[in-house]
Structures are given as structure tokens and as C-alpha cells.
Structure 1
Amino acid sequence: MEAAYKTETLRKKIPTLELSGETQLPESTNCMACSEDGRYLSLGHSQGLSVWCASSLICIAEWLQDRLEVTSIQITSMAEKVYLLGTVDDMGVARVFAYHCERIHLLSVINIMENINTRIICLTFELSEGGGYGAASFSCNGSVWLEVCHFPSEAWLKELEIAESKKQEPNSSEDVDVNWSPVAVVIKIKPPRIPGTTLDDPLEVLQMPAFFTNCLALDVITSSSHQWDEQSSDTDVGKTNESPRRCTQHFLLPCGFIKPNSQPAGFPIAVGVWWSGSHNLFQYLLQKNPKNKADVEPVPDVLWPNAKEILCSAVSRCTRYVALGLEDGLVCVWDRQSASPLPVVSVSAADSAFCRMQIVDYCPKSADDSQTFTAAKVSLLVLCKSGVIHTVTTGRGGQPCTAQLNERPNDSGELQTVTASVRFLQSLLLVVQRNGKIFLQDVIKKTIVCFLILPATHLIASPCTPVYVLDTKQQTLFIKGDPELSCNASSKGGSQSQLFIFHFGEPDIFKKNIVSLPDSPGQQNTPSCATLEESCSLYLQQRALSVDERHKAITQTWKQLQETAVAVEQRHSRAAAS
């Protein structure tokens, strides 16, 4: 009782952000997204999707279809006043739409269900920024794979203009028939395997000469080791686990000595992929398959091996840094500029594994910081399954540091379902808990800055998976709220779900935290190299600047080895004496 009283007293001293507005949502709104320029909201709901003006909250256009429930949606700008939308419905069908001149056009269905017995289900679908590519992971009869599609942007823009001109003609019908250009599959990636190799004797696999094959063998042996122990009497000993593996992919912009071939600025040139249970991160160039070789297995152009299994990942906005959360509390950040890792960080999270991580792109710089790669620092937020959040900072020429942001929650209701860095508010973190509480937390002072409270008539919709979006341009949070069952249905808002709006740019409590951000990843200062020789030269400079740091690490490692050797020798002596 005393602890609860202190908590309530502390909460009363913390300011509350006033609600800026609300509006009624379409029935069964499952997801929402905001365009990069902050002009439009896209909503996925029962019977289709709709596009809203983000400032006036007026529905501008909608696309409806009976017995269809959109469960995932994304929006990105393809050209001036033209936006591309990617959706997945409750049947696992992915679609691509275009919003143009206050109309929504269905451009392509990515996985058409031709045979009900071999249904290809889309698990995830992601559009690249700028709408040049789409990455979809599929599942069918126990098999999983990733497909990256190239969108014919220029052809679609011309076809949209033709469709609009037909709409303007007198006596034109509401539906205009347009033969939209088809999407092209650039690359199809399956979970890595070792062809022609059985695992009856794992030592034989490790003795294979190819380094690349040995890296793959590490994944297979690790994921199969439990089976050798549990099924030692089975005739299928050593076979790999055939349960579906999930993949995580990230679109990667040009970086290092890899340059795009006739690719528009701001478009990705590669995709980074890792599979559940894997130690390895792969990078595949987005090149079209040669003719008559559609079934050829693609080979990654870069492989980043890691000492432990990958649990989660994040990519910086400029895609130079790829951060990996590994088993045993390890964080590894790969620098694509030099193709080498930053110092690996060990986080004291032995009691709980990592589940999510995010790179904080904006970090305050001192006047002495140069704009070269040598002074680059990477800051991350790492969330553990136990609910503990850690901040991690690593970089060249300095000692990595970590800090625990909160204590492990005693109540399951205090577990975080959302931990998002607010890009336009320096050092502030948006937190949503299972119990429905929303607040902003200062990651440096480790204090709650303010609470965001919905009206008493409503609660956060599905607090375990809240439907929300942060508009970085308007510095606004949009979040869905459902009616409180205990309240009268005739009260304000009725029985419908509402969209609640919180503006962060107006209150004085945030003015010191507001920062200006670059409009695109390309505006960030990311050095590049024209040749392999220049990249090697940069790497050697990094090595020279980190001599002291590496010397300290080696000294510490030898000290730990010596202490371990003494402890083992003492243990053996005691065992022999007994």
C-alpha cells in the first residue's frame, strides 16, 4: 500500500500532455501508416483501406472490397503527389496500390491464389522508401522464402496519368480499365542449406574446405545439436529441423565501394537478410536474374558471421550501420562502410534474451566532433523479453558503454509493448505498456517526462499490439482507442473506435528536446568510397586510430584467461586430492 501511494503521488507530480483532437475511425481499423512528408495517413480496416489527410483528418479516398480485412499497411512517396501503398490481408494476400489525384488504384496482387491446395501465404510485406522495390516473405506447405520485387515506377506513373485523363472524359465510368505493368521478381532467397551434405557426422562438415560453406555449417550444426541429444536412437539422427524459419530483411542504400548501376538516387541497391536460428547476416545485390536461370540459387555478395545466434536487428536510417542483437547479451554493429564490426558490446542481460532493438539516428555532437567516419558513434535501444531496456553506445576510438534504463517489471501489466525513439525529440522515448499507460521517458535522466492520457470513455485498442503511428513532420502521435465497456455507449464518441491525436511541438516541456531532421537518408553525411583500395585505406586508418582500444581489450582478455586457467587448475587439484 505504501509503494502504491508513493507511485500515485509521483505520478501526480508528472505533467500530462493534453489531447489535441480526435475523430471516429472506420470499423475494425487494424493498422495505419503515415507518409514520409506527413501529409497523409493510410488506414487498413475491414472491407479495404482508405487515405486520410493528416492535418484535417478527412477521408480523401478509399478502396473497398467485401469479405476483405487489411491487417498490415505501408505508404511511401513514389513521386510528387503520387504515393505507393503496400498491404497484406487476413488471408495472406499482398497487394500494391497507388494513391493519385484523390483516387486509389490497385496496381498488382503479389501472390494470386490460383490453387487452394497450394496456397502461398504472405507473412510480411515491406516497401522500400521511394517505392522502387518490395520484399515479401512467403510460406507454402512448410516451405518459406523471400522474394524481392522491382516495381516499374516510370511505367506506373505514365499509366496513372492515362487513367486520370480517361476519368476526365465525359461519359466515363467510375472504374477505368488500365493494364498496369507487372512487377518483376529480382531475387528469390531461401533459407541457406549445404547442398549434398548430410549431418550424420558433424565433424565432416566442419572439415569442408570452403570458408563460406563452413559458415553455413555453423548454423546447421547449432540448430540441430538438440536433435542429436534428444533423438540419438532415431534413424533420422542429424537431420535438420524442417520447421518453417522466419526471415528478417532490411533494404540497404549505396555504401562503401559498391555503387548503383543506373539506379536513381535514394533507391536501395541491396537487401540484408538473416534467418531465425542463424549466426549469419547476408547481403544480396538487387540484380535481375539472368535469362533462363530463374531457379539458380542466389549467392550473397557479403556475409557477416557472428559468434552467437541472431535474435533481433536494426538498421540506421542511412543504412550504413546494421546492428544485431545476439544470444548471451551481445550487441554487434557492422559498419558497411569498412565491412568490419564496431567493438562488440556485452550487455548484462543474462536473465533475459533480446527481443527488439532500434538505432537512435540523431545523437548530439560536440564542437570537437569531426564529420569523418572515425568519430562515428552508434546509439541503440535494446529491449529484453523481461521488459528491461538497455541503452548501448559504441563506435571507433572510444570505449563502448551501456546503461539500464529501467528495472525489471514486477507486474506483467508494466511490460512494454511499444518502445520507440521519437526522432524529433532528442533523448526521449515513447513507451506503451500492457496496462494501457502511455508516457515519454528521458533515456539520459531515466525519468518520465509526461503522461499521455486518453479520455475516460476510451482505452488503448489492443494494448499488447497498439495501432499507432508517429508523424515526424507534424510532430504528432496518432493512436487508436476503443470505448471503455463500463462507460455508457451514449457518451461522447459512442461505441465506435476513435483516433486520438497528441501534438508534441506545442507544449513548453518539449521545446528543449525538439531537433530538426534531414528530409531523407541521403542528406546524412555518409562517406563513400569509389574503389576497393579506398575502402581498405579507410579500414587501415580505423585500425590505426583504435590501437589503444584494442590493446586494452587484448590485455583484459589475457587477464581473464589467466584467471580462468588458475581457477581450473585449482578445481582439478581439489578433485585429485579428494
Structure 2
Amino acid sequence: MFPKAKNTAEMLGAGKEDAKPEPVQVPSLELTDVAQLPENTNCLTCTADGRFLGLAHTQGLSVWCASSFTPAAEWLQPQLELIFIQMTRMAEMTYLLGTVDDMGVARVFGFHSDDIHLLNVINIMEDVTARSIFLTFDLHEGGHYGAASISCNGVVWLEVYQFPVEQWLRELEMMSSLKKDENLTEVSDMKWSPFTLMMKLSPPTLPTEKPVDFLTYCLTVDVIRSSGPHKEQYSFSSDAATTKTRESPRCTQHFLLPCNGANGDSTANPAGLPVAVAVWWSGSTSLLQYLLQKPPKNKTDVTPMPEMLWPNAKEILCSAVSRCTYLIALGLEDAMVCIWNRQSGAPVSIVLVPEETIAFSRIQFVDNWSVPAQDCDIVGTEPVRMLVSCKNGAIYMVTAGLGMRSNTIQHFQGPKDSRDFPTVAILVPFLQAVSLIMQRSGKMFLTEAIKRETVCYLTLPTSHQIASLYNPVYTLNAEQRALLIRGDQETSDLLERQNQSRLFVFYFSQSDIIKPHIDCPRQPSLHHGTLEEICNVYLEQRAQSVDDRNKALEQAWGNMQKTASALQRTRQSRKHQANVDK
């Protein structure tokens, strides 16, 4: 149906450190399926259960069946351009969708019984001069919580919402029943239950007096460090506070699950709901944790206080949480990676990437997605692997753990040609340590992250190219083990190119090339939830490694004695030479 892609080992470009040609010819993965996309599809998403696709495009959004690629429902509005979409399941065959349009307006939809219903417009613009713009919008799995970073007149803040999932499910079911009633000629608009604004977090400001506690001190240090080139001249005064508010940093947040679920007991939190949110601001060295709790009814505009603070030696550039959310990895300035253990409140490891001049742009945990989050191994007892992307295009695989020597391997070398710069470098969750790389030139390939071997190339038909090479429109279906990506027809006519957009599908599980890399489920290991049990496991590991540590200690003492003897002989020789000279 499509022209078969050529096999070539030269498509990788600068992805290997060794410039020698590969001895084995790297195969190409054949295209599996294709479908026509709506005009100007700006964003794709797939539900975690793999059943449905969400498409954000001109004039609204669409929901497709992920197996047949046929439309299941759509919501259209003239002169509307949606640029972001996220979709999560609230209940069996009922889903919550969050969108943002090109004007920064966020909306929440419900998909139920092959219908899409607009549940709420979060930032209704009553006053154009005070228009709030959504910069980011994140729905937690299950739809109970959402978070958004918002900008208005140069000021940026973070809002965390609680959505009335149970009420919306009842209202969606009621709306479906009304539409099925043949006696009703017209269904009136449903008044959907409102959401709750749980907290509003603003960037830290410089206090007007000297800090008296550790938390205030750390926030003060953050403000001073990001206040400009003359930051050392700032004092603890109101003038300094006024100076800081001129620029507002950006915010990054992560929802966090409870730490007491490590033993696999889900009775305390049966729905797997988050209990906290981790927040850091650009220019900051501190990571803050806030509890998710409703604001008091008798007070307004209460500024929430962080429950926990993790200070770092360098400025935070990027962050990630493990799938079980017990570990938080921070990419810091000067090529430093710090891994924090939420349960103990202590760092698991601090790793320095060899090239100190690079700046991190993204960090990802190499999690085993075949194991449920509540069945994760005990934190800190097994090595942790992370994929770190740098602004120069280089990618590193970092392996670290409590009490072990860290290891850093360059997974992808920074390209010399700008066309080989990776625009997408993500781990494929259903494959074993395999990452997907997309380059500005339009080349796509899968590479094994640990062995640094190219698995295969993924190529579109010669008549099409990847849409928006600098920001590809794609999504991964973890259940069906597939990559779905938008391709545009090769033509100089922009209108014709948008009308000829296709959805190209690569099914990995159907290929013999990919089968050896598919992540197979493993048996859950023993789990330990309390701090006492974690300490016991740590002490047991220390006892088992006592012989190796004693040998290492003896060797270290021997080397020190040899060094000391050499230094002593050198000093005596110099002293003797000095006496001779006299």
C-alpha cells in the first residue's frame, strides 16, 4: 500500500560516538496503518487503557476509537483553535478531557455514551484587560485533580483544582438518559457541578525582615539568587521585595501519591489519589511539597505553606518523578543530578555528568511500566536509571542508587549538524529501556538506551513528511504498543498540505524486530512500607557487603600508606638537596 522504506545505516547521523559504519545493517519498521486527520490537527492524546484517541484541531475536538480510527464523537465551535488536549478515564467508558485553545482558555469536557459535553470553562474572560492565560494544564490520572500555570499581565502563578468526579458521573448518566427518552423533544442544558480551587501558589517573594526559620531562609536565598546581576547588593528590605516582583518565574509541578502505600496496601487510598503536589520555580534551588487539602471556608486568600522543602546546591533546570512518585529526580546547573527519596526525606544519590558545561533540558525515569505503581520495588534498594537530555542535543543514561557508585553513559552525542538535533527524545514505556528519537531532519528511530544500539528506523511514505519538524504531533498507545504520528503531504500549497494530513500508525508488537525489546510483566517483589523496615533492609545489605567493604578499606589504607611513604621520601630528598646547596 505504501512504498517500502530503504534500509540504511547512515540515517542515524550524529547519534553514535564512533564514526565508523555499523557492521550490521539496521532494519526499518514497516508502516502498519493510516487514517485521514481533521484539518489542522494540533495535538494528539491516547487514553491509558488504549481505547480512545483525543484530537485537538481547528473548530474543536474529536474522540476516535483507537482500534478502528473511526470518529466516536466530536465537539465543534466555529473560529476556535485548540492547541492542547489531555484525556483520562473517570469510570468505565467515561472520560475527562482537558483542552487549551490558542487564546489560552482552558476547558474541561466529559465523554460519555458517544457524546462530548462541555463541563466547565475554567478561565472565563469577563474582563479582557485582566485576561488570564493558561500556560500549562495537567489532569491527574482519574480526573480528580488538575493543575495549571497561569499568566496575567506579566504575573505567573499555579492553581490546583479538585474536580467533582462523582457528581459529574451522575450528571453525565442523567444527560444520557434524557437523550434516550423519546418523549422529550429537546434536552435542556445541564447545570454542571462546579470545581473547587484548592490552592493558588505564587512565586516566593523576599521577606521584609531577616528570616527566622529554615524554610524562610531557603526561599530568601532563591529570591536573591534570581534577582539579577547585582543580587549580592540586595538586603532584607521592602525595596528588594519590590524589585523582585517585576519578573515572575515559571512553575513546574508534579502530583505525588502517598508514601505509605509501598507495602501494596491500597485500603488507605483505594482510588490511587494524590495527596500532595511538588512545585519548583525557575531560578530556584528549592523543591517544595504542598499537601492537597481544601482551603478553610471561613478564610479567603490564604497562602498555603509548604509541608516540606528540599534544598539543592544548584539551580533546578528540570525534574521528574518515578511512577510510584517515591523518588524525585532534579536536573541542576553544572550538569548535576540529584535524586530525592520522599519517604526518608534524604537524597538517594547525587551524580555529576562528566561534561560540566552542558545544561539539562529534560530528565526521565526509566521505569518498568509492566509493574503497577503500588508494586514498585522498595525505594533505594535497586539501581535507578534516568535518561537526561541536554540543550546541546546530547542524551545521557544515568544509573545511581543508595550506597552504590553512579554510572553515566552517553546515549546520544550532541550533533554537529543542526538538522540532526533531536526534537523528541522519550522513553517508550512498553519497551525495555528503548527510547524514541525524532530529529529536525524528519528522521525517526528507536535506540536501546543501555547498549546504545539502534533498534530500527521508522519512515513515512515518500509522499509525506512529519508535520511540524520542530514540534511533531504524535502520541503513544501503551496498551496496543503503537506510535501514532501526523504526517503532511509534500507540497508547497499550505492549504492543501493541511487538508492532506494523515495519521500514520506503527504497531511495535507485530514486528519481529521489536519483540525482543517488549517489556514483559514480572513478578512483584517484596515490599516494605515503614521507615523501620527500610532501615532493616539497608542494614541487611550493609551486613552482606561487609567483606567487600573491608577489602576496599584495606586497599584504600594500603594506597594511602604508599602515598605517604612516597611523600616522605620526597621531602627527605628535598631537605637533603637543600643542605647540599648550602
TM-score range, shorter chain: 0.7 to 0.9
Match of 2:456 in 1: 450
Within the candidate set 505, 511, 515, 1:507 is matched to: 511
Match of 1:210 in 2: 213
Match of 2:427 in 1: 421
Task: Compute the displacement of 1:528 (Å).
Answer: 2.5
Structure-2 separation of matches of 1:79 and 1:536: 39
Structure-2 separation of matches of 1:272 and 1:479: 31
Q: 1:164-563 to 2 correspondence within 5 Å?
A: 164-172=176-184, 176-197=188-209, 205=210, 208-228=211-231, 239-240=243-244, 242-256=246-260, 264-362=270-368, 371-485=377-491, 495-516=499-520, 527-529=528-530
**Deviates further, 158-167 or 184-193:** 184-193
Structure-2 separation of matches of 1:489 and 1:86: 28
Structure-2 separation of matches of 1:297 and 1:403: 43
Task: Compute the displacement of 1:188 (Å).
Answer: 1.3
Match of 2:570 in 1: none
* Aligned amino acid, residue 412 of structure 1: S
**Deviates further, 534-543 or 372-381:** 534-543
* Contact 2:377-2:525 within 8 A present in 1 as well: no
**Deviates further, 298-307 or 11-20:** 11-20
* Contact 2:370-2:430 within 8 A present in 1 as well: no
- Could you give the per-residue CA deviations for residues 374-429 of structure 1, whole angstroms, max 9, x where no partner exists? 52221100000000000001112321111111222011111111111111111211
Within the candidate set 83, 88, 95, 1:76 is matched to: 88
* Contact 2:429-2:478 within 8 A present in 1 as well: yes
Cα 1:414–1:125, aligned 2, differ >3 Å: closer, same or farther? same
Structure-1 separation of matches of 2:218 and 2:540: 28
Task: Compute the displacement of 1:349 (Å).
Answer: 3.0
Structure-1 separation of matches of 2:538 and 2:315: 26
Cα 1:477–1:141, aligned 2, differ >3 Å: closer, same or farther? same
- Could you give the per-residue CA deviations for residues 159-189 of structure 1, whole angstroms, max 9, x where no partner exists? 1111011001115456542111100011111
Task: Compute the displacement of 1:346 (Å).
Answer: 0.3
* Contact 1:167-1:176 within 8 A present in 2 as well: no
* Contact 1:257-1:535 within 8 A present in 2 as well: no
Match of 1:125 in 2: 137
- Could you give the per-residue CA deviations for residues 53-79 of structure 1, whole angstroms, max 9, x where no partner exists? 001000110001111111111001101
- Could you give the per-residue CA deviations for residues 446-490 of structure 1, whole angstroms, max 9, x where no partner exists? 222111000111110001110100111000000001111169999
Match of 2:577 in 1: none
Q: Does 1:157 align with 2:169?
A: yes
Task: Compute the displacement of 1:6 (Å).
Answer: 11
- RCO higher in structure (CA 8 A, sep ≥6): 2
Task: Compute the displacement of 1:41 (Å).
Answer: 0.3
* Contact 2:348-2:380 within 8 A present in 1 as well: no
- Could you give the per-residue CA deviations for residues 253-298 of structure 1, whole angstroms, max 9, x where no partner exists? 1114999997543111111111100001111110001112231110
Structure-2 separation of matches of 1:4 and 1:373: 41
Match of 2:579 in 1: none
TM-score normalised according to structure 2 size: 0.83
In structure 2, the gaps of 5 or more residues are 1-8, 14-19, 568-582
Equivalent position SS for 2:226: helix
Cα 1:156–1:518, aligned 2, differ >3 Å: closer, same or farther? farther
Percent sequence identity is: 51
Cα 1:118–1:273, aligned 2, differ >3 Å: closer, same or farther? same
- Could you give the per-residue CA deviations for residues 9-45 of structure 1, whole angstroms, max 9, x where no partner exists? 7599221110001111001100010000000000000
* Contact 2:82-2:100 within 8 A present in 1 as well: yes
Larger Rg: 2
Structure-2 separation of matches of 1:541 and 1:123: 48
Task: Compute the displacement of 1:192 (Å).
Answer: 1.6
Task: Compute the displacement of 1:340 (Å).
Answer: 1.2
Aligned residues: 533
Equivalent position SS for 1:403: strand
Task: Compute the displacement of 1:354 (Å).
Answer: 0.2
Equivalent position SS for 2:193: coil
RMSD across aligned C-alpha pairs, in angstroms? 3.6
* Contact 1:359-1:380 within 8 A present in 2 as well: yes
* Contact 2:334-2:357 within 8 A present in 1 as well: no
Cα 1:545–1:340, aligned 2, differ >3 Å: closer, same or farther? farther
* Aligned amino acid, residue 395 of structure 2: I
Cα 1:174–1:510, aligned 2, differ >3 Å: closer, same or farther? farther
* Contact 2:466-2:472 within 8 A present in 1 as well: yes
* Aligned amino acid, residue 423 of structure 1: P
Task: Compute the displacement of 1:320 (Å).
Answer: 1.1
Cα 1:6–1:107, aligned 2, differ >3 Å: closer, same or farther? closer
Structure-1 separation of matches of 2:459 and 2:74: 30
Equivalent position SS for 2:513: helix
* Aligned amino acid, residue 310 of structure 1: I
* Contact 1:337-1:535 within 8 A present in 2 as well: no
In structure 1, the gaps of 5 or more residues are 198-204, 567-578
